[in-house]
Amino acid sequence: MTPLFTKVTTETLARMNTSRTWIALAAMSLSLSFTASTQAQTAHYPNGVEGIKASSLPPAGVYVRDYNYCYFANEFPGGPVDFNATAYVQGPRGIWITDQKVLGGTYGASVLVPFVYQDISVGATQQQKFGLGDLMLEPLLLSWNVGDYDFALGYGLWTPTGDFQAGRLVNPGKGYFGHMLSLGASRHFGEDKSWTLTALNRYEINHENPDTDITTGDAWTIEGGLSKTLSKSVEVGAIGYVQAKVTRDSGPVAPRDSIVGFGPEVSVLIPGIDLFASVRYAFEFAASDRPEGHLLNVTFTKRF
C-alpha cells in the first residue's frame, strides 16, 4: 500500500563510518535512510508520511493527494560531526476507490509519482540533485469498516524509475525494486466517537540492486497516532513512527539502522471545495546508524 491516507469524507477528511572510502547518504529518496559504501538503504517508504487515521480509507471515488515532505538533519549519532542534509519530496498520488468487494472489503488502487530534491554535505563535500524518484504502483487496496473499527490491507511495488548512481551522496532513486505489504487498523471511541487510535504497519522486501550487487535487508515501519475531532472540519492529534531494518543486507556487513519520531498534527477540511489539508511535524530521536532530524509534511487531498 502506498501511503494510506487519512480518512476523507465530506464531514471529516521518513552510521556513517568515516574510516571507509565512500559513505553516501540519501537524506531522502523517499525514506531519509542512510546509504553505506555498499549503497544499501533501509526503506523506500518515508517515515511519518501518514499519521492520524492512517489506516482509514475514504469512500468510493477518485482522489488526488499531494504530499509535500520536508526533512532536515544535522545530527548523525556515531557518524560525522560536520553533517547536514536537506530533502524535499513533492509526491502527487492518484487514488481510485471502487464500489467493488473483494474478501468482503472495498477494493481500490493507487499510484504515487515522487519528485525529489536532496542537498547533502559531509565535511567539505556537498552534493545537490533534483529528479524523479521511484514510482509506487499499488494495485491492491482493501478496506473494511466493522463497527468502531477500520481495517486496511494492501500490496505495493516500488519501481526503480529514479536516478541512481553508486557512490554518489544524493540519489533520487534507490536502484532496485521493492515489495511493500501493509496492514493497519483504526478504532474510533468515546461517547461521540470523536477519538481515533490508529496503527499502520509496512513491511518491505527488496530485490538486488544491479549496480551494486547488493540486496538490501527487509525494513519494517509502524506509524500512527491518536486524534480528536473538534468539529466537522478540524481534527488534531499526536503522531509517531518507528522504522528499522530487520534483516541484514547481502554482501558486506551493513548496520541494522533504526529511528523513532514523534510530533503533532492538525487536519482541516476547507468548506465549499472539498479540499482536505493536514500539517504534520515530527522530531526524531533514538537514531542508530542513520541521521536524526526533523520532518514537516503538508498534504492536500481533493476528491473528484
Cell of 121: 554535505
pLDDT of residue 18: 33
* H or E segment and range at residue 25: strand 24-25
pLDDT of residue 169: 87
Residues 89-93 have a mean pLDDT of: 96
Cell of 212: 551494486
pLDDT of residue 271: 83
Select 24-303's CATH number: 2.40.160.40, 3.10.129.10, 1.10.10.10, 3.40.50.300: 2.40.160.40
Higher-confidence residue of 79 and 26: namely 79
Query: What whole-number distance in Å separates Cα of residue 20 and Cα of residue 164?
Result: 20
Q: What is the pLDDT of residues 262-283, one digit of tens each?
A: 999 999 999 888 899 999 999 9
Name the band, by pLDDT with cuts 50, 70 and 90, for residue 80. Answer: confident
Name the band, by pLDDT with cuts 50, 70 and 90, for residue 252. Answer: confident
Would you say how long the chain is, in residues?
304
CB atoms within 10 A of CB 296: 16
Kindly compute the dihedral angle of the four CA atoms of residues 100, 13, 95, 63, in this order, to the nearest 10 degrees: 100
DSSP 5: P
Name the band, by pLDDT with cuts 50, 70 and 90, for residue 257. Answer: confident
**Using an 8 Å Cβ cutoff, are 174 and 165 in contact?**
no
**Using an 8 Å Cβ cutoff, are 259 and 281 in contact?**
no
Name the band, by pLDDT with cuts 50, 70 and 90, for residue 255. Answer: confident
Place of cell 499502520: 200
Does residue 239 carry a pLDDT above 70? yes
Query: What whole-number distance in Å separates Cα of residue 277 and Cα of residue 271?
Result: 11
Query: What whole-number distance in Å separates Cα of residue 155 and Cα of residue 151?
Result: 14
pLDDT of residue 256: 82
**Using an 8 Å Cβ cutoff, are 78 and 289 in contact?**
yes
Name the band, by pLDDT with cuts 50, 70 and 90, for residue 41. Answer: low
Q: What is the pLDDT of residues 167-210, one digit of tens each?
A: 888 999 999 999 999 999 999 999 999 999 999 999 999 999 99
Query: What whole-number distance in Å separates Cα of residue 210 and Cα of residue 212?
Result: 6
**Using an 8 Å Cβ cutoff, are 292 and 285 in contact?**
yes
Q: What is the pLDDT of residues 123-172, one digit of tens each?
A: 999 999 999 999 999 999 999 999 999 999 999 999 999 999 988 889 99
